[in-house]
Amino acid sequence: MNSPPYPFADSVASPSAELKSGHGRIVVSSHASKAVFSELAATYPLKLLSPRVGADGVAVAYVLSYGGGLIGGDEVVLDVKVKDDARLVLLSQGSTKVFKMRLGTRLASSAWVDSSLASPQPIPEGSADAPTLTTQVMDYRVHEGCGLYLLPEPVTCFRDASYKQIQRFHLEDRTSSLVLVDSITSGRQALGEDWDFAKYYSMNEVWIGGKLITKDVMLLEGDREAAKSPDDSSRHRVPKRLLRDQLAPYSCYAMVLLYGPQAQETIEDIANQYKEYIVYQRRMPTDSLWSFSLLGENTADGAVVRIAGKETEVVRSCLKATLRRLERVIGVDTFRRAFA
């Protein structure tokens, strides 16, 4: 694993209460134009690091995992709060790798996270998901006038891995801002893995003032039986298609959600880019495709961008070009590190 690009401050601040295994907490606020972490704490397998950055009012934290990835049975629960006019940028160091279950269990694998409760529950006996499912539940709260910029690299699920991610964003009011990037790759293509995981589930909810304004869900589920020869009972049925065939020719997909006054310039710039993009008609698949849509009647209601690319780096380049106006919000150096 490469070293992060910044010198790092003390990565763990004293938490106000003891954290359970796999839990983390971030609280950041702005004081004298400087963003300060009052809490930055995590337990295995979750790891949080905070680089020292110079941009006024902007804090950066890397969300990592020990061993370079998550293993089947791991549960991660992260609570994040941004307050007092602060801006928080969350990054990852490389893709979030999800491995299939290995022999033995990790310390954070003794409980199962219910996606609707975001709290650990006992593993149900006989549950098919319990032994192999990797779960991350993230709860973000953004106070008025604050901004949250979630710009991680994609999730990469290895062969037969099963992954569930629940992210809830609670914005205090319409002065709160959010930019969310949620992306996934097809796997380790160099090893012949192409959408060979068992299951991928990602849900993103955005609440403003206690009201749900949007909910985005992606479910990708591999059919292991589709690769086998059909038996006599299924020959006359419509043949099932492998996940790789359904998603071809693209190997990386990304969703970007933007909302709030700090994202307005970026949304307007994307809208102008998209007007130029749709002028040209294409009959053959290109290296990348993207779409843009508003969440309401105007840019103040937020927007969603979706990108598909034949290569992960193609999608990353598209994201960098699409979100270029964020340089003025989070700082040039931080933006370039996010999309290096």
The pLDDT value recorded for residue 189 is 87
Neighbouring-strand partners of residue 87:
58, 147
Cβ neighbours around 217 below 10 Å, total: 10
For the chain, count helices (H), then strands (E). 5, 20
Closest CA to 153 of 197, 203, 75, 90: 90
The Cα diameter of the chain in Å comes to 73
Neighbouring-strand partners of residue 70:
98
Global pTM value: 0.84
Query: Is 160 in contact with 197 (CB distance < 8 Å)?
Result: yes
The pLDDT value recorded for residue 102 is 55
pLDDT (tens digit, 0 to 9) for every residue of the chain, 340 residues total? 344 443 444 344 444 458 999 999 999 999 888 999 999 999 999 999 998 876 788 999 999 999 889 999 999 999 999 999 999 999 999 999 999 865 444 444 443 334 343 443 444 444 444 448 999 999 999 999 999 999 999 999 999 999 999 999 999 999 999 999 999 999 998 888 999 999 999 999 999 999 999 999 999 997 655 555 555 455 546 567 889 999 999 999 999 999 999 999 999 999 999 988 876 666 666 899 999 999 999 999 999 999 999 999 999 999 999 999 999 999 999 999 999 8
Residue 247 — left, alpha, or beta (φ > 0 → left; ψ -120 to 50 → alpha)?
alpha
The pLDDT value recorded for residue 284 is 66
- CA-to-CA distance for 230 and 221, rounded, in angstroms? 19
Closest CA to 51 of 83, 86, 89: 89
**What's the Rg (C-alpha) of the chain?**
20
The pLDDT value recorded for residue 224 is 58
The pLDDT value recorded for residue 7 is 42
- CA-to-CA distance for 97 and 79, rounded, in angstroms? 21
Q: Name the DSSP class of 334.
A: H
Closest CA to 7 of 53, 56, 63: 53
Amino acid in position 174: R
The pLDDT value recorded for residue 126 is 44
Q: CA dist 339 to 34, 59, 325, Å?
A: 23, 17, 13
Q: Name the DSSP class of 161.
A: -
- CA-to-CA distance for 278 and 271, rounded, in angstroms? 11
Q: CA dist 112 to 95, 121, 212, 326, Å?
A: 24, 5, 26, 37
Helix 264-277, helix 312-322: angle, nearest 10: 120
Closest CA to 156 of 131, 134, 178, 138: 134
The pLDDT value recorded for residue 282 is 65
Neighbouring-strand partners of residue 214:
206
The pLDDT value recorded for residue 109 is 46
- CA-to-CA distance for 157 and 167, rounded, in angstroms? 18
- Which secondary-structure segment (H or E) carries 178? strand 177-185
